[in-house]
Each structure stands twice: as structure tokens, then as C-alpha cells.
Structure 1
Amino acid sequence: MSDRQAARQAHRAREFEAFVAGAAGRLLHAATLLTAEAPDANPRARRLLTHALAHTYAHWDRLHGEDPYDRARQFLAGRFARAIWHQYGVFGRARTDPRSPLAALAPQERLILVLRLYEGVAEQQTAALLGLPIERVHTVCDRATATMLHPARPAAPRAVGTKVAPS
């Protein structure tokens, strides 16, 4: 390897390390919200982050002015969507932690809510990234937001000695 190649690789590594230092925390938080794991126990989110960063590093030289954070976020969201589809079906439920603020949402609702509200991705971009109609993204985001703002209340306990009418 020539000195020029070694210098180029060292520069690439420094650039990527600087990117990771600035972006990994936010990407991990987004992944933790997607997986609905507790912030202190999030192995699936960490695995998603690792894959997204590895993919971004593999394509680092081909970004050509493209935002590496955007590329990593796209990969993270796409990988999460595919994993949910393959494991649980499009409307399936994944394991969630009750300590997660988004545990009450379905995976697709979490994905759209995180992209739209936490990451600030436009409705059109979210729809294109997920291969959904814009109207569907809008509807799912509205439903997820309503669920978060007005969570279902737990059933009230019955008074002792009352009978339940047969159905």
C-alpha cells in the first residue's frame, strides 16, 4: 500500500469517527424508540445501529456530498421495516418493553411516528422511504399521535361482591 493510499484511508477513518461521535447517540435513541426497548436494555436497537453504521462506512466514499446521517437513518428505518415484515407481518406486534414511551404502538406506527416527529422527515420522504402512499403515512401518523396523546385507560377494578352479567 502506498503512502497516499494509507493517508487517504486514515483520513476516511477520521471523518467516519467524527461522524459517529456526533450522530451515534441520536441514531441509537431513534433505534431504541423504533424497537420499543428500554433505554438501558436495548440489544435490538444496538444491533440496528451497528448495521446502519457499518453500511454507512461501507458506502462512505460514494456519498459524494450526500448527508451521511440521512443515509444511516434511511438504512436504519429500512432494516427495521424489513425485520418487522419478515418476523411479524406488516401489522404484527414485536416484543416491547413497558418502560418504552412508544410501547403501545404497532411497529409501523412507531416507525412513521419516529421518522415524522422525532427525526423531522417530511411526509413525502417518509412515504417514499417506506413505499407507502402519502395518505397512508398521514393517517398512521395521526393515529399514532392520538394514541400517544390519549392512551387507553386500564379497566377499572370491579367492586367486591358485584356480579358480572353473562354475555
Structure 2
Amino acid sequence: MRERQASRNARRAREFEAFVAGAAGRLMHAATLLTAELPDDNPRARRLLTAALAHTYAVWDGLRGEDPYDRTRQYLAVAFARGAWHQYGGLGLAHPWSRPKPGGTLSCLSPHERLILVLRMYEGVAEEQAAAMLALPAERVRAVCARAMATLLHPPREAPAVIAEVAPS
């Protein structure tokens, strides 16, 4: 009995390691795009990916033919959305202080726009599937994706820095 359990655990570990070897790079890039961090400085993305992979490993035996990549991507997206909701008070909050530090590829987008754009354009998730994953109407996903693409193609101009000169007294 113990030998069979040990054999099952070893097989599970090998299967999961093979999955991670093939999928971790793409998932890490998706997480980095979601958090709008720089590729070389992405602690939030690493935490997101670690949690998503841990969850996938925990349910590995229960996947039963389900694609582990889809399951991990879904967990990653939902965890990002939940984190953005708690951190910024919602996914659509567009206050300047809610945006990450400049530098990330998608830093000019809100968390909501980044999430939908990454799912649709980078991951190739169908509009209806993304809508179901995020519990949004498909029309809303389409509109947010279009707005995000327009913002990326025509980024907002930075306001000119105001230099205040103080006259000597």
C-alpha cells in the first residue's frame, strides 16, 4: 500500500514538473503583464504565479482530463482581479495613484483593462469565455478590450511638469 502511494506521488510530481517546465514561462509573462511590473522586477507577478501553481498542484489529481494550463490561468486571473479589488477598491478604479509605477508594458491601463486585454490578446481566450470567467457580459468584455487597445495605440499624453520657482525673499 505504501509503495503504491509513493509511486502515485512520484508520478504526480513528475507530471506536475513537466507541466511547470512547459507552462511557467508563458504564465510568468502573463502575470507580469497583469501586474504591469517590469520583467526584471516583478514580485507581485511572482507571488501570483506561485499561488496559481500551488493551487493547480493541490487539485492536480482532480483535474481528470481538464487542461491544467487553463485551470492555472483562470486561478491567476481571478487572484489578480481579487487582489486589484482589495488593493484599489475595484478593478475599474482609474485614479492616478491606482496605477503601477511607470515602466511596465501595460502600466497606462487600469487593472480591469489589463486583465481583459491579457486574457483576450495575449492568452487568446474567447470573448465569451473571458466574460464567463470574470462574470461580466460579453459586450462589456468587448468594450473594455477595445478601450484598452485604443489606449495602447494612442497613449494619453503626460501632463507637462510644472516647475515652481520660488523668488528669493
Shared fold (TM-score, shorter chain, > 0.5): yes
- Asked whether 1:104 is paired with 2:116, we answer no
> Which of 129, 134, 152 in structure 2 is aligned with 1:148?
152
- TM-score with structure 1 length normalisation? 0.90
1:46-57 correspondence to structure 2 within 5 Å: 46-57=46-57
> Which of 129, 133, 136 in structure 2 is aligned with 1:129?
133
**Deviation larger for 44-53 or 94-103:** 94-103
RMSD of aligned residue pairs (Cα, Å): 1.5
State the alpha-carbon separation in 2 of the partners of residues 18 and 133 from structure 1: 36
Tell me the CA shift for residue 156 of structure 1.
6.2
Tell me the CA shift for residue 153 of structure 1.
2.6
CA deviation map 1:61-80 (0-9, x unaligned): 00000000000000000000
State the alpha-carbon separation in 2 of the partners of residues 157 and 81 from structure 1: 33
Letter in 2 for 1:39: P
- TM-score with structure 2 length normalisation? 0.89
Could you tell me which runs of 5 or more consecutive residues in structure 1 were left unpaired when the two chains were aligned.
Answer: 159-167
State the alpha-carbon separation in 2 of the partners of residues 113 and 52 from structure 1: 19
* Closer/same/farther in 2, CA of residues 72 and 157 from structure 1, 3 Å limit: closer
State the alpha-carbon separation in 1 of the partners of residues 146 and 23 from structure 2: 28
CA deviation map 1:83-133 (0-9, x unaligned): 111121222354513221100000000000000000000000000000111
The alignment covers a number of residue pairs equal to 158
